[in-house]
């Protein structure tokens, strides 16, 4: 049996594969869905007469803000429309608080800390690192953050200034936070401090590829909990239309809304209003954005199914894997502390996987067990090869075989 695994390893080596499944990116057939955007003709003016070609409309054109307001279920006064990505807006939010937070700028706090569910998005951890903000990991369950641990961290650590999470189809393990979890999170966090920032990167707001758990709009929950001044929700069209060529949305209120306006007013003369208009002309309304996302779903779902068909063949003793209903990732958790070894073996066979550990702050996965798989960006044939490699690598590492 072990000899058979080694033979499979050796024959895969002969194939000299070169496949990269490190990042969750749309494949070109998904990008083609939005090609009409490139040549769409638009007027020179926004709905309320702003010249789209000029400076001005610092916080987004009216019709883009309306679209954002529909998608985020937040009043238009609370919604700004920007450019590029949710990651950029997340970064700008941290920057704004770092420099100017109302009570005390975070730069003046000796060792500011954020609570971050793990596993999480590597770029979030890198971003916090840039600011010298310590990311304190908290476990993530099917219905959201471990609230007991969340509460314990707030009681036991000093200088916690906020939390950052992906509340729907969490990157990488795919959880959809329940309404109850979010309401309780808001209650505990706001009781701790009325300056505690709830920062949500809602990158996968509309990225279901299978029927998904119901989730009330985040903004509605924040309002119900009375924490909208402490809440920031960002999202973007990076995986709706074009990476870096989409538009982004920001929902917040009170001091938090003022802060983003303050930093952006110094930093950016105005968003790309022509691109905002193009997007609004292309989609018209939130329903048509959702219909467009169904087309993405049809292209993405079969790739997840291919990946599962391989993972299902792995014996349960090796580990287990997530079956998300949306987003871009599958998480495989090994039962033994072998994630690094598995990733190394895949590399030897020409398949690049997100480095082990990168879904934890400072690349520190205490169990060395979490592996992120990103099945969307490669062809189905390449994905099948990559998954074959992955399963062989898991078995080799699990049985500690010499290859
Ligand atoms: C949680 C999360 N946020 C942000 C991004 C980047 O997307 P955006 O371009 O919207 O920032 C990704 C993509 O990999 C992501 O997984």
The C-alpha atoms of residue 9 and residue 345 are separated, in whole angstroms, by 9
Fold exhibited by the domain 2-24+290-398: 3.90.1150
What is the residue-averaged pLDDT of the chain? Answer: 97
The C-alpha atoms of residue 401 and residue 403 are separated, in whole angstroms, by 6
- Which CATH number, 3.10.310.30, 1.10.8.80, 1.20.120.1150, 3.40.640.10, labels domain 40-284? 3.40.640.10
Ligand 1, atom nearest to 236 Cα: 10
Helix axes 380-398, 2-14, angle to 10 degrees: 140
Helix axes 86-100, 254-267, angle to 10 degrees: 100
To the nearest 5 percent, what fractions of the chain are helix, strand and coil? 45, 15, 40
Q: How far is the CA of 48 from the centre of ligand 1 (A)?
A: 31
Band of residue 263 on the pLDDT scale cut at 50, 70, 90: very high
Note the pLDDT of residue 1.
77
Q: Whose CA is nearest to atom 13 of ligand 1?
A: 24
Q: Where are the domains of the chain?
A: 2-24+290-398, 40-284
Q: How far is the CA of 86 from the centre of ligand 1 (A)?
A: 6
Q: What is the pTM of this model?
A: 0.97
Question: Percent of the chain scored above 90 by pLDDT?
Answer: 99
Chain segment 95-109, per-residue pLDDT in tens: 999 999 998 999 999
Q: Whose CA is nearest to atom 4 of ligand 1?
A: 87
Chain segment 28-75, per-residue pLDDT in tens: 999 999 999 999 999 999 999 999 999 999 999 999 999 999 999 999
For 127-190, list the strands marked E by DSSP: 134-141, 144-145, 160-165
Q: How far is the CA of 346 from the centre of ligand 1 (A)?
A: 25
Note the pLDDT of residue 397.
98
Ligand 1, atom nearest to 88 Cα: 11
Given a cut of 90, whether residue 336 has pLDDT beyond it is yes
Virtual torsion, Cα 323, 329, 330, 335, nearest 10 deg? -130
Q: How far is the CA of 87 from the centre of ligand 1 (A)?
A: 6
**Shortest CA distance to 395 belongs to which of 345, 324, 321?**
345
The C-alpha atoms of residue 60 and residue 62 are separated, in whole angstroms, by 6
Pocket test residue of 22, 68, 123, 279 for ligand 1, highest count of atoms within 8 A of CB: 123
Tokens matching residue 303 = 């790739």
**DSSP assignment string, 94-112:** HHHHHHH-SSS-GGGSSS-
Virtual torsion, Cα 189, 191, 195, 197, nearest 10 deg? 10
Q: How far is CA 39 from CA 7, 35, 258, 282, 394, in A?
A: 52, 8, 36, 10, 47
Pocket test residue of 22, 25, 82, 85 for ligand 1, highest count of atoms within 8 A of CB: 85
Region for residue 249 given its phi and psi (left: phi exceeds 0; alpha: psi -120 to 50; beta: otherwise): beta
Band of residue 231 on the pLDDT scale cut at 50, 70, 90: very high
Chain segment 359-375, per-residue pLDDT in tens: 999 999 999 999 999 99
Q: Can you say how many angstroms the Cα of residue 330 is from the centroid of all Cα atoms in its chain?
A: 13
Over residues 372-392, mean pLDDT: 98
201 close to 90: Cβ distance less than 8 angstroms: yes
Band of residue 94 on the pLDDT scale cut at 50, 70, 90: very high
162 close to 114: Cβ distance less than 8 angstroms: yes
Chain segment 167-212, per-residue pLDDT in tens: 999 999 999 999 999 999 999 999 999 999 999 999 999 999 999 9
Given a cut of 90, whether residue 331 has pLDDT beyond it is yes
Q: How far is the CA of 193 from the centre of ligand 1 (A)?
A: 28
Residues with CB under 6 A from ligand 1: 24, 85-87, 121, 166, 171, 201, 203, 236, 238
**Shortest CA distance to 193 belongs to which of 102, 60, 297?**
102
Over residues 4-24, mean pLDDT: 96
The C-alpha atoms of residue 101 and residue 98 are separated, in whole angstroms, by 6
Q: How far is the CA of 165 from the centre of ligand 1 (A)?
A: 11
Band of residue 388 on the pLDDT scale cut at 50, 70, 90: very high
Q: How far is the CA of 248 from the centre of ligand 1 (A)?
A: 11
CB atoms within 10 A of CB 6: 16
Ligand 1, atom nearest to 248 Cα: 10
Virtual torsion, Cα 66, 68, 70, 73, nearest 10 deg? -120
Note the pLDDT of residue 103.
87
């Amino acid at each position: 049996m072990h000899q058979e695994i080694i033979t499979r390893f050796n024959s895969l080596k002969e194939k000299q594969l070169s496949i990269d499944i490190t990042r969750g990116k749309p494949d070109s057939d998904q990008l083609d869905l939005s090609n009409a955007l490139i040549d769409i003709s638009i007027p020179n003016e926004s709905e309320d007469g702003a010249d789209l070609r000029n400076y001005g409309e610092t916080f987004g054109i009216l019709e883009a803000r309306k679209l954002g307001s529909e998608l985020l279920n937040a009043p238009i006064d609370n919604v700004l429309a920007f450019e590029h990505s949710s990651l950029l807006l997340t970064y700008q939010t941290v920057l704004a608080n770092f420099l100017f937070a109302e009570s005390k700028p975070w730069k003046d706090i000796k060792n500011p800390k954020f609570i971050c569910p793990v596993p999480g998005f590597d770029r979030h951890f890198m971003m916090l690192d840039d600011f010298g903000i310590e990311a304190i990991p908290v476990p993530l369950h099917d219905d959201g953050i471990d609230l007991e641990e969340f509460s314990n961290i707030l009681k036991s650590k000093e200088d916690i200034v906020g939390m950052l999470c992906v509340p729907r189809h969490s990157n990488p393990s795919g959880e959809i936070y329940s309404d109850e979890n979010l309401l309780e999170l808001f209650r505990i966090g706001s009781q701790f401090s009325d300056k505690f920032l709830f920062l949500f990167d809602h990158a996968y707001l509309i990225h279901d590829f299978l029927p998904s758990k119901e989730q009330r709009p985040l903004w509605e929950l924040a309002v119900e909990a009375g924490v909208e001044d402490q809440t920031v929700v960002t999202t973007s069209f990076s995986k709706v239309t074009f990476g870096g060529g989409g538009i982004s949305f920001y929902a917040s209120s009170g001091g938090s809304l003022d802060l983003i306006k303050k930093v952006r007013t110094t930093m950016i003369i105005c968003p790309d209003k022509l691109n905002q208009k193009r997007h609004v002309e292309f989609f018209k309304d939130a329903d048509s954005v959702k219909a467009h996302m169904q087309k993405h779903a049809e292209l993405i779902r079969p790739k997840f199914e291919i990946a599962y068909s391989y993972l299902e063949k792995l014996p349960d003793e090796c580990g287990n894997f997530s079956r998300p209903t949306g987003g871009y990732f599958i998480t495989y958790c090994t039962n033994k502390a072998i994630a690094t070894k598995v990733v190394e073996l895949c590399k030897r066979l020409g398949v690049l996987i997100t480095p082990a550990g990168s879904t934890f702050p400072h690349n520190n996965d205490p169990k060395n067990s979490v592996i992120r798989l990103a099945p969307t960006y490669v062809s189905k044939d390449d994905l099948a090869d990559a998954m074959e490699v992955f399963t062989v690598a898991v078995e080799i590492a699990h049985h500690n075989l010499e290859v």
